Amino acid sequence: MYRIYDLQCNNMPFPQGIDDAKPTFSWKLDSDQQDTYQVSYRLRVYLEECMVWDTGFIKSDKTFDIPYQGEKLKSGQLYFWEAESINNYGEKASSTTAKWQTGNIESRWLMKWISTGEARKEIVDCVSAEAIFAGAVKSLDKPEEVLDSPVYFRKEIGIEKEVKHAVAFATAKGIYDLQIDGQSVSHLFAPEYTSYNKHLEYQTYDVTKLLTPGRHGIGVILADGWYTGKIGLMGVGNQYGERNSFYLQIEVTYTDGTKELLGTDESFKWSYGGYRYSDLFVGEYYVQAKELTGYSKTGFDDSSWKQVVASVGGFDILQGQSITPARVVKKIVPEILCTPKGEVVLDAGANIVGFTRYEGPCEEEVEISFEHSEVLDQNGNFQQNILGQHKNQKDRILPNKTGIITYKPKFTFHGFRYVLLEGIKDPKAEDFEIWVIDGGLERTGSFVTSNEDINQLQENIYRSQQGNMLFVPTDCPQRERAGWTGDMQVYAPTATFNMDVLAFLKRWLKDMRLEQKMDGQIPNVIPAIDSNKYIDGEGQDEVSSAGWGDACVIVPYRLYQAYQSKEVLKDNFQMMCRWMDYVESKVSQEGLWDTGFHFGDWLIPSIMKATGNPMETAMKTKEEVASAMYAYTTEIMIDICNVLGEKKRAEHYLALNQKTRTSFSIKYISSDGRMRNDLQGLYVLALGMRLVDEHKRQACVRHLVNLVHENDDCLDTGFLSVPFLLETLYEEGEKELAYTLLFQKKSPSWLYAVTKGATTIWENWEAIRPDGTRTNSSYNHFAFGCVGEFMYKHIGGLEAVEAGYRKIKIAPDINCGLDWAKTSYVSRYGEISIDWDKKSGKLEVKLPPNTSGEIWWNGKTMEIGNGRYLLK
Ligand code: RAM
């Protein structure tokens, strides 16, 4: 059987509102025969009943990144498409029908932005990053005393004729909920988070069914979101502007062929309503008495509402939604705990991202509140682990009558496992639901072994990825939710295994390109947040750290390796070169990057333990780390240039790379293989990035091994070196030590957190100390989950030897200490699976059509085609 499945357009199963004139198509193949190759394919695209593109059968083995070349696409339409594939056995596979919806292809923007005309308050009480890092800053007890309220807009419209098709394009500076006749039509947290002043996405909704002949109410609630909300580590508002505004354009086509344009203009009115405040980090305060019941329906009395201020312009930065929208993936009925202190706390069972829904009894004027946190203290009492300015994570409801109330927040979400309840008498578990949200990315990897702790670690990695690959790749979902570039860079290979992150990271890289400074620097956080100047140091010209800015080279490269997308390299090549030129301007004659501030090997456990100050790790390691990163990125650039046929540039990077490697070894590694700075991570980087002269290498490895032993066989690596730790030991002949570290349960180690009941990856290895103390760290930081890459490669046995897993190396290490492992990964070609069992000596492999592999098993190597193979 030959099968074609998982059709994708612009790397999404069903993109809604994309406005590319030439979207790209891809599909996957499956076959029960060995050595199957596609010899030709055919694509057909339809609009309504008409075919708008038929490729005919094209002789090609291409199955992805095929651009649309049919009739000009029309705005706001649903296109259907099908693919057929013929293989080398003459079998033909036909797909089911897939679809995509176009956005405002012609970029006709004819309505107006509406707003109240008033600025939102900025409110900055603390500008000291140190004070925030030290946990010395508290959130306000009564945010309502300072925060602004979300704004309601409304208008009624009349539809006089039968509608054939109606499409709405909407967006906001802020986040919006759009309703027609009381029915919400918008996505969660639309328009999501991008580099707003350079790239703002709009959403496309098919509203044909709602616009029947007659009168209709249009209502919108507009909240601060990321645009003016209290975002980032510093929790400062107005990072992209001072005024929220909303835009709506509805294009109606009547059955008689006539058209009409409706949407936002001066005729809308505005008012405040039930939400006293609603902030992504602070939480929401809902005052029922102020609710404007029926505001989005016809007949509502808006005589006391005010006229909006309308304006035009700024349409050139609009782009159709380019990733799958956020969604609710799961609803959990929590457990109710009563703490020793007598607090009533909900337990979601795992550390998740989302919000709490309540439907149950309330009393008039008795405030109900839900405060969210990731941990209980060692005695089992509620502990708020997220400190800082405007980080309450607390939702509140003030009911205006006794009875049953139904509430879930609209414009906020939290990172939490526990919810402290107040204001509800005898709460019942079934009155609550914890709604888990995620970025709608497809799960592509699965990894299960005979070891429960490793399985839990894998689950924790996945859960942290799920909670942080939301809108943009964030460091953590509670304290900062910021697109820290270094975090994404170290985690990228693991990310591409677990989920299909291609479209998601492409969007983020677009923002990175847009945020690049004139001199080539890449801000450490993308989308850039101005209040990060309080972290970088105000007035600083340098806003890029080695290992963070380097993400502009490393992330596209990782995407290329995983997805064979040359486009990603092409799209970002100029950005990479400009960044590399910037770094080149900063390095010394010898090619060492010994200037400026860098986060270095951020958060080295021993230094953190001794000083509690993350900046110490930066200061101590920044020079070696920056130079090592430079050698590493020049090396990657050589490869990228070769892929893109940029021979001259490749030579340039080769020369730079050789110079830096030589100088690095001379300056930082003594003739007896000892690093100037005797830290595990620095050895790991030097070895892992091949910066050690051959004659010093063995000695260097010995020093690293000794350091690990001296540290009680525990790791002591920071952010940038940890992804190389196990792989370097493994490659340098220290396999056993690599596994000792992987299976280690003493702190610091990956499984230490598992033994402490972690359900996500922590920012701090000892977030829960051995004595049980819970620190106020983030318990949901995916960065250290980068160990996934090592597990999938050596325990699972999966490695791409050609970009996109076109050629696959299958080399599971059955001496890893486990009895069996099952790994599967949906590559762009289709599903790969590797299943081994030590006792029976069995290895079962399946590779998708169009790929080939090499198996390393029982000391032998064997070249294979694709299909199913069983080895004993
Ligand atoms: C922290 C972030 C992030 C890290 C930076 C340097 O505050 O959480 O993980 O990349 O600092």
638, amino acid identity = I
Q: Which two tokens stand for residue 108?
A: 């006709």
Look at residue 744 in the predicted model and tell me its pLDDT.
98
Look at residue 872 in the predicted model and tell me its pLDDT.
85
Do 284 and 176 share a structural domain? Answer: yes
Q: How far apart are CA 131 and CA 624, in angstroms?
A: 28
- Assess if residue 263 is contained within a domain: yes
Do 247 and 140 share a structural domain? Answer: yes
Look at residue 541 in the predicted model and tell me its pLDDT.
82
* 251 is an active site residue: no
Do 300 and 361 share a structural domain? Answer: no
Residue carrying the six token digits 């909303």: 246
CA 480 to ligand 1: nearest atom: 8
Ligand 1 lined by 546 (C-beta under 6 Å): no
Cβ atoms of 44 and 57 closer than 8 Å: no
Do 275 and 367 share a structural domain? Answer: no
Write out the residue range of the structural domain in which residue 173 sits: 113-325
The residue among 524, 728, 545, 556 whose CA lies nearest residue 636 is: 556
Ligand 1 lined by 522 (C-beta under 6 Å): no
Which protein residue has the closest C-alpha to ligand 1 atom 3?
Answer: 475
Q: Assign 590 to helix, strand or coil.
A: coil
- Assess if residue 404 is contained within a domain: yes
- Assess if residue 386 is contained within a domain: yes
Please report how many Cα atoms fall inside a 13 Å half-sphere around the Cα of residue 479, on the Cβ side: 24
Q: How far apart are CA 865 and CA 36, in angstroms?
A: 8
Q: What angle do CA 111, 503, 544 make, to 5 degrees?
A: 90
* 106 is an active site residue: no
Do 319 and 336 share a structural domain? Answer: no
Centroid of ligand 1 to alpha carbon of 776 (angstroms): 14
CA 233 to ligand 1: nearest atom: 7
Look at residue 834 in the predicted model and tell me its pLDDT.
98
Ligand 1 lined by 536 (C-beta under 6 Å): no
CA 486 to ligand 1: nearest atom: 10
Centroid of ligand 1 to alpha carbon of 35 (angstroms): 47
- Assess if residue 836 is contained within a domain: yes
Q: How far apart are CA 418 and CA 120, in angstroms?
A: 31
Helical (H) or strand (E) element with 59 = strand 58-59
Burial of 452 (0-12, 13-18, 19+ CB in 10 A): exposed
Ligand 1 lined by 480 (C-beta under 6 Å): yes
CA 763 to ligand 1: nearest atom: 9
Look at residue 127 in the predicted model and tell me its pLDDT.
86
Pocket test for ligand 1, best of 476, 487, 621 (most atoms within 8 A of CB): 487
Ligand 1 lined by 602 (C-beta under 6 Å): yes
Q: What is the DSSP letter of 371?
A: E
Ligand 1 lined by 386 (C-beta under 6 Å): no
Q: What is the 3-state secondary structure (H, E, C) of 193-260?
A: CCCCCCCEEEEEEECCCCCCCEEEEEEEEEECHHHHCCECCCCECCCCCCCCEEEEEEEEEECCCCEE
Q: How far apart are CA 754 and CA 306, in angstroms?
A: 55
Ligand 1 lined by 491 (C-beta under 6 Å): no
Look at residue 537 in the predicted model and tell me its pLDDT.
67
Ligand 1 lined by 762 (C-beta under 6 Å): no
Centroid of ligand 1 to alpha carbon of 438 (angstroms): 21
Q: What angle do CA 217, 219, 221 make, to 5 degrees?
A: 170
Q: Which of 415, 438, 461 is the last residue of a domain?
A: 438
Other CB atoms within 10 Å distance of the CB of residue 273: 19
Q: How far apart are CA 439 and CA 324, in angstroms?
A: 7
Do 160 and 208 share a structural domain? Answer: yes
Do 335 and 320 share a structural domain? Answer: no
What CATH number is associated with residue 64? 2.60.40.10
Which protein residue has the closest C-alpha to ligand 1 atom 6?
Answer: 599
Ligand 1 lined by 716 (C-beta under 6 Å): no
Do 174 and 231 share a structural domain? Answer: yes
Q: Which of 57, 77, 102 is the last residue of a domain?
A: 102
Which protein residue has the closest C-alpha to ligand 1 atom 5?
Answer: 484
Residue tagged active-site, from 374, 480, 635, 766 = 480
Centroid of ligand 1 to alpha carbon of 475 (angstroms): 6
Do 224 and 125 share a structural domain? Answer: yes
Ligand 1 lined by 601 (C-beta under 6 Å): no
Look at residue 740 in the predicted model and tell me its pLDDT.
98
Q: How far apart are CA 752 and CA 770, in angstroms?
A: 9
Helical (H) or strand (E) element with 378 = none
Q: Which two tokens stand for residue 807?
A: 């050629």
Residue carrying the six token digits 């003739």: 671
Cβ atoms of 743 and 817 closer than 8 Å: yes
Pocket test for ligand 1, best of 389, 391, 478, 480 (most atoms within 8 A of CB): 480
Residues lower than pLDDT 70 in the chain: 537-539
Pocket test for ligand 1, best of 391, 475, 719, 781 (most atoms within 8 A of CB): 475
Ligand 1 lined by 534 (C-beta under 6 Å): no
Beta bridge partners of 179: 184, 219
527 cis-preceded (ω within 30 degrees of 0)? yes
Ligand 1 lined by 233 (C-beta under 6 Å): yes
Which protein residue has the closest C-alpha to ligand 1 atom 2?
Answer: 475
Centroid of ligand 1 to alpha carbon of 514 (angstroms): 22
Centroid of ligand 1 to alpha carbon of 603 (angstroms): 9
Do 224 and 335 share a structural domain? Answer: no
Do 300 and 216 share a structural domain? Answer: yes
Q: How far apart are CA 451 and CA 458, in angstroms?
A: 11
What CATH number is associated with residue 144? 2.60.120.260
Centroid of ligand 1 to alpha carbon of 763 (angstroms): 9
- Assess if residue 759 is contained within a domain: no
- Assess if residue 121 is contained within a domain: yes
Residue tagged active-site, from 201, 763, 789, 799 = 763
What CATH number is associated with residue 862? 2.60.420.10
Beta bridge partners of 398: 287
Look at residue 455 in the predicted model and tell me its pLDDT.
98
Pocket test for ligand 1, best of 133, 484, 597, 720 (most atoms within 8 A of CB): 484
Centroid of ligand 1 to alpha carbon of 682 (angstroms): 20
Look at residue 132 in the predicted model and tell me its pLDDT.
86
Centroid of ligand 1 to alpha carbon of 606 (angstroms): 18
Ligand 1 lined by 234 (C-beta under 6 Å): no
Q: How many domains does the chain have?
A: 4
Ligand 1 lined by 550 (C-beta under 6 Å): no
Do 6 and 66 share a structural domain? Answer: yes
DSSP 330-354: EEE-PEEEE-TT--EEEEEEEEEEE
Ligand 1 lined by 274 (C-beta under 6 Å): no
Q: Which of 325, 344, 366 is the last residue of a domain?
A: 325
CA 476 to ligand 1: nearest atom: 8
Centroid of ligand 1 to alpha carbon of 563 (angstroms): 27
The residue among 201, 165, 164 whose CA lies nearest residue 186 is: 201
- Assess if residue 645 is contained within a domain: no
Centroid of ligand 1 to alpha carbon of 689 (angstroms): 23
Centroid of ligand 1 to alpha carbon of 404 (angstroms): 43
Pocket test for ligand 1, best of 602, 622, 720 (most atoms within 8 A of CB): 602
Sign, CA dihedral 342-408-393-146, equals: negative
CA 485 to ligand 1: nearest atom: 10
List of long-range contacts for 44-52, beta carbons under 8 Å, 24+ apart: 44/81, 44/82, 44/83, 45/70, 45/79, 45/80, 45/81, 46/79, 46/80, 46/81, 47/74, 47/77, 47/78, 47/79, 47/80, 52/79
Ligand 1 lined by 486 (C-beta under 6 Å): yes
- Assess if residue 665 is contained within a domain: no
Q: Left (φ > 0), alpha (ψ -120 to 50) or beta: where does 142 sit?
A: beta
Centroid of ligand 1 to alpha carbon of 133 (angstroms): 10
